[in-house]
């Protein structure tokens, strides 16, 4: 796969021996190279960690310890006075006691300026206050905060490739959805028709996050899951890949959809919808309709549409009541996933049921 970003292209390659993505390793190498090459950014990053050092430290990647071979931290920033160990993650979990083992490396260094940095995708489950392991300060960071720091730090003009390096890292973080748009403004969203489109980027990112969570939950051999087209409201279509419903859903004469849309009452809703054209009105069995109603889906019908009369069943809830008062996009997205995901998985199971009756 070739991409406009060299780093994204390399990160998409697989290790042929283990069939694993190596994006995490490429990101670590690129980030370390940026710190090593761009001293202005390194200075800003050290300040972000809470230090004002008399001298900028050296940057090493995957340092080995003879006395402790099981410990290979992603990055070490060190000199005579400084010892900063850093562990970088995208989606992979921590190893057993990994942070505690790295904290011990920091503690035994005996340096004046020291900490353990844990850098990963999400804020969720982060410590909200200062956190220590065995007396060693842990600094939790996200890649989104790194991207912001890259963008606001003045470029190092002494290094000709500084701008290119920064752009490569930012492109990589955006490609792997590790940066976030501005949070949804729920007050403005109450004026749906006026402000729905202006927050389209954030709304579509919410749906993209739901889409990724759903893809990870469903068997891709059985279901095809895709996001809506740019001209449509932000949403996800769930289709059967095979079986009796396969061709019918491919032509969209019958559909399963979840997404976000504005309504005539001026509010923005999250909805889960199973619908079909009126040509299938008699083919959808009464037992399936009853099943939908037992699952709290409400019937709707649009028989007068001149081009495509249709009907279906849906569950709808205001987006504001799902997201609540949160003003952090990641929290907003997580709450939306928490509402959409179980219902979308339920819709997939309902499609299986209908497929057997079709």
Q: Among 258, 253, 246, 250, which Cα is nearest to 314's?
A: 258
Q: Are strands 113-120 and 136-142 parallel, antiparallel or unpaired?
A: parallel
Cα separation, 228 vs 233, in Å, equals 7
Count other Cβ atoms within 10 Å, centred on residue 319: 25
Query: Given this model, what pLDDT does residue 125 score?
Result: 57
Per-residue model confidence (pLDDT) at position 306: 82
Please give the helix or strand (H or E) that residue 223 lies within, else none.
strand 223-227
* For the chain, domain boundaries: 6-175, 186-357
- Could you read off the pLDDT of 41-58 as tens digits, one per residue? 999 999 999 999 989 999
How much is the pTM?
0.76
Which has the closest alpha carbon to 168: 358, 3, 335, 334? 3
CATH of the structural domain 6-175, one choice from 3.90.550, 3.30.470, 3.40.1350, 1.10.3210 = 3.40.1350
Buried b (16+ CB within 10 A) or exposed e, 242-263: ebebeebbeeeebbbbbbbbbe
Measured CA to CA in angstroms, residue 269 lies from 46, 191, 245 at distances of 43, 12, 28
Gap between the Cα atoms of 280 and 289, Å rounded: 13
Q: Residue 157's pLDDT band (boundaries 50, 70, 90)?
A: low
What would the pLDDT profile of 228-255 be if each residue is shown by its tens digit?
Answer: 998 899 999 999 998 889 888 988 889 9
**pLDDT-based confidence at 69, cuts 50/70/90?**
low
| H-only helix segments in 72-161 | 98-109, 143-152
pLDDT in tens, 120-154: 987 655 555 568 999 999 999 999 999 999 998 87
Chain Cα centroid distance, residue 27: 16
**Among 53, 75, 54, 58, CA closest to 146:** 75
**Percent of the chain at pLDDT exceeding 90:** 56
The DSSP secondary-structure symbol of 77 reads E
Residue 238: helix, strand or coil by DSSP? strand
If we measure between CA atoms, which residue out of 238, 233, 196, 232 comes closest to residue 213? 238
Higher pLDDT, 91 or 274: 274
Closest CA to 301 of 287, 315, 291, 314: 314
């Amino acid at each position: 796969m070739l991409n406009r970003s060299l780093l994204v292209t390399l990160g998409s390659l697989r290790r042929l021996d283990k069939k694993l993505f190596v994006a995490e390793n490429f990101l670590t190498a690129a980030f370390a190279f940026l710190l090593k090459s761009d001293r202005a950014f390194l200075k800003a990053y050290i300040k972000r960690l809470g230090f004002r050092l008399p001298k900028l430290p050296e940057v090493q990647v995957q340092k080995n310890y003879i006395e402790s071979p099981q410990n290979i931290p992603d990055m070490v920033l060190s000199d005579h006075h400084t010892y900063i160990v850093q562990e970088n993650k995208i989606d992979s979990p921590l190893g057993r006691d990994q942070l505690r083992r790295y904290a011990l490396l920091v503690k035994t260094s005996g340096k004046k300026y020291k900490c353990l940095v844990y850098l990963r995708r999400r804020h969720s489950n982060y410590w909200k206050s200062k956190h220590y392991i065995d007396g060693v300060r842990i600094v939790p960071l996200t890649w989104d905060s790194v991207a912001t720091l890259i963008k606001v730090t003045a470029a190092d003009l002494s290094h000709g490739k500084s701008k290119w390096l920064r752009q490569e890292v930012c492109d990589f973080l955006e490609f792997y959805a590790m940066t976030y748009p501005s949070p949804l403004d729920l007050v403005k969203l109450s004026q749906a028709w006026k402000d729905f489109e202006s927050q389209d980027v954030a709304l579509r990112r919410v749906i993209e996050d739901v889409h990724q969570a759903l893809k990870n939950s469903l068997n891709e051999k059985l279901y095809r899951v895709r996001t809506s087209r740019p001209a449509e409201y932000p949403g996800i279509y769930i289709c059967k890949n095979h079986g009796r419903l396969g061709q019918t859903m491919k032509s969209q004469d019958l559909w399963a959809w979840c997404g976000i849309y504005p309504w005539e009452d001026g509010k923005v809703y999250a909805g889960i919808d199973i619908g079909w054209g009126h040509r299938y009105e008699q083919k959808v069995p009464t037992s399936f309709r009853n099943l939908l109603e037992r699952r709290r889906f409400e019937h709707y019908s649009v028989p007068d549409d001149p081009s495509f009369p249709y009907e279906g069943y849906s569950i709808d809830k205001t987006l504001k009541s799902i997201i609540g008062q949160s003003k952090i996009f990641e929290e907003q997205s997580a709450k939306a996933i928490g509402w959409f995901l179980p219902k979308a998985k339920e819709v997939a199971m309902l499609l299986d049921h209908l497929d057997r009756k079709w």
